[in-house]
Amino acid sequence: MDFIDLKTQYRKYKQDIDQAIQRVLDSSQYVMGREVREVEAALAEFVGVKHCITASSGTDTLTMSMMALDIGEGDEVITSPFTFISTVETISHLRAKPVFVDIDPRTYNLDVDQIESVITPKTKAIMPVSLFGQVPDLQRINEIAAKYDLPVIEDAAQSFGATLHGKRSCGLTTIGSTSFFPAKPLGCYGDGGALFTDDDQIAETLKIIRVHGGLQRDHYIRLGMNARFDTIQAAVILAKLPHFEEELRLRSHIGRHYTEMLKEHCQTPYIPEGYTSNYAIYTIQVPNRDQMAAHLKERGIPAPVYYPVPAYSQPVFKKLGLDKAHFPVTEKVCDEIISLPMHPWLTESDQEFIVESVIEAASVTA
Ligand SMILES: Cc1ncc(COP(=O)(O)O)c(C=O)c1O
């Protein structure tokens, strides 16, 4: 059994994907070719924003978004400590300071009530993470940001396709940043990512940053990076995008089925009214996680832990000197969460087997 089944997905769309890649090979425009422009138009339309700027990874898009907002040394960026390391790593790369607030115990996203208490004159952005496939309360986050005149960057690496009151993740904030890492709900066949914005000036700046700080040959107007998207990866996304809505529907069906079967036995994902999740990572919370993990492993069910260690406790960020006592929810969640296989083609019998195994382990460990 696979945690994420990319082989079945490839088999299903093989003809389209192979042809799309072949077209790029025939054109020999391997970097920033025609498909890159086509996929940017298609993705901007899907999200419902004016601009999409593709890039080399979901990590680079976070860096680019902060560079475009001139975030640098001494600036503070408010974010979540319960996330993949990229979120925090990119802030530190720019010599800015990650400022953490604890998470909501049900959604695992930023606890919005705590944001205002950490805003200082040095705060330059709020960077909420849409963890496991669902956006935080971005309406309230945007209201707080507007009050202090701050931009909001959504780290939407995991939430592409999710919605809040019908509007897509990536299109709800000043800048939305996503990843096309193969394991993401919309993945390419290597590294890739994209930025979304309605702001013309920010879009232009992002395009400049993407190619070494200058759009004209031999003329560089600001510090940039090499963050271009490969044309072959754009072609893969173009071939997959027409199937994405159907995949979201299948994921949602499986996610809701899991929840229906498991909600009496453990804490299941909480999707408030008005929100949809893409169920990028279906995560449950149990008091004795390690026993659950051992039991699932024994039964051949892949069940990784995203994430066992909060960012502030990672050796690289120990120097921030943060006291874990400030983050009781994050501490508890890191000890108790475990994720279950999730992909659009998870068979009913596999789902039943997983559910039975989780219930069995939950009753033993309760
Ligand atoms: C929350 C979050 N942010 C950023 C990233 C970085 O994306 P990439 O792997 O494309 O650099 C990831 C990818 O795993 C992620 O999950």
Dump pLDDT digits (tens) for 174-225: 999 999 999 999 999 999 999 999 999 999 999 999 999 999 999 999 999 9
Instruction: Tell me the CA–centroid distance for residue 190 and ligand 1, in Å.
Output: 13
β-partners of residue 163 are: 168, 276
The yes-or-no verdict on residue 327 having pLDDT over 90 is: yes
The H or E element containing residue 202 is helix 200-210
- pLDDT greater than 60 at residue 365: no
141-159 pLDDT tens trace = 999 999 999 999 999 999 9
Q: Which two tokens stand for residue 366?
A: 């309760």
Residue whose Cα lies nearest atom 8 of ligand 1: it is 58
Testing ligand 1's pocket by substitution, the residue of 3, 57, 84, 155 carrying the most ligand atoms inside 8 A of its CB is 84
Q: What is the DSSP letter of 219?
A: B
Q: Which atom of ligand 1 is nearest to the CA of 192?
A: 10
157 lines ligand 1 (CB under 6 A): yes
Residue 295 C-alpha to ligand 1 middle, in angstroms? 29
DSSP state of 228: P
Q: What is the CA radius of gyration of the chain?
A: 20
- What whole-number distance in Å separates Cα of residue 291 and Cα of residue 301? 14
For helices 6-27 and 231-262, what crossing angle results, to 10°?
Answer: 170
Which residue lies with its CA nearest to atom 12 of ligand 1? 157
Report cis status (omega within 30 of 0) of the bond before 220: no
Report the distance separating Cα 182 and Cα 236, nearest Å. Answer: 10
Mean pLDDT computed over 222-246:
98
54 Cβ closer than 6 Å to some ligand 1 atom = no
**231, 29 Cβ separation under 8 angstroms:** yes
d(C-alpha 284, C-alpha 294), whole Å: 15
Q: Whose CA is nearest to atom 14 of ligand 1?
A: 84
Contact 199, 174 (CB under 8 A): yes
pLDDT confidence band for 363 (50 / 70 / 90): confident
Residue nearest to atom 10 of ligand 1 (CA): 58
> How confident is the model over 241-268, as a mean pLDDT?
98
Instruction: Report how far residue 104's alpha carbon sits from residue 364's, in angstroms, rounded to the nearest whole number.
Output: 28
- Residues 186, 162 contacting (CB under 8 angstroms): no
Distance 265 CA to ligand 1 centre (A): 30
User: Which ranges of 48-84 would DSSP assign to H, the alpha helix?
Assistant: 58-68
pTM of the model: 0.98
pLDDT band per the 50, 70, 90 thresholds, residue 364: confident
Of ligand 1's atoms, which has the minimum distance to the CA of residue 62? 4
Ligand 1 centroid vs 59 CA: distance in angstroms?
6
Measured CA angle at 79 (ends 76, 82), to 5 deg: 140
What band does 264 get if pLDDT is binned at 50, 70 and 90?
very high
CA dihedral 323, 327, 330, 335 (to 10 degrees): 60
From the alpha carbon of 60, which atom of ligand 1 is closest? 11
Taken in order 328, 281, 59, 149, the sign of the CA dihedral is negative
Distance, in Å, from the CA atom of 307 to the CA atom of 299, rounded to the nearest integer, reads: 22
**Pocket of ligand 1, candidates 134, 154, 158: which has the most ligand atoms within 8 Å of its Cβ, to mutate?**
158
Backbone CA torsion sign across 316, 318, 320, 325? positive
CB atoms within 10 A of CB 117: 7
H/E segment holding residue 154: strand 153-155
| Six token digits for residue 280 | 């990028």
Ligand 1 and 239: CB distance under 6 A: no
The terminus-to-terminus CA distance of the chain in angstroms comes to: 26
**Confidence band, pLDDT 50/70/90 cuts, at residue 366:** low
Helix axes 34-47, 6-27, angle to 10 degrees: 130
Atom of ligand 1 minimally distant from the CA of 130: 1
- Is the pLDDT at 315 greater than 70? The verdict is yes
Is pLDDT above 70 for 226? yes
Gap between the Cα atoms of 169 and 130, Å rounded: 8
Q: Is 158 near ligand 1, meaning CB less than 6 Å away?
A: yes
Q: Is 233 in the pocket of ligand 1 (CB under 6 A)?
A: no
Q: Is the pLDDT of residue 260 over 70?
A: yes
Q: Is the distance from the beta carbon of residue 57 to the nearest atom of ligand 1 less than 6 Å?
A: yes
Banded pLDDT at 51 (limits 50, 70, 90)? very high
Q: In Å, what is the CA distance from 268 to each residue of 18, 138, 178, 284?
A: 38, 22, 25, 5
pLDDT attached to residue 149: 98
pLDDT average, residue stretch 318-330:
94
Shortest-distance atom of ligand 1 to CA 179: 10
Q: Which pairing describes strands 193-197 and 175-179: parallel, antiparallel, or unpaired?
A: antiparallel
Q: What is the pLDDT of residues 88-128, one digit of tens each?
A: 999 999 999 999 999 999 999 999 999 999 999 999 999 99
Q: Does ligand 1 lie within 6 Å of residue 154's CB atom?
A: no
> Is the CB of 191 within 6 Å of ligand 1?
yes
Instruction: Say how far apart CA 53 and CA 208 lie, in whole Å.
Output: 10
Ligand 1 atom closest to the Cα of residue 61 is 11
What atom of ligand 1 comes closest to residue 158's alpha carbon? 16
Alpha carbon distance 176, 171 (integer Å):
6
The residues with which 126 forms a beta bridge, in sequence order, are: 78, 152
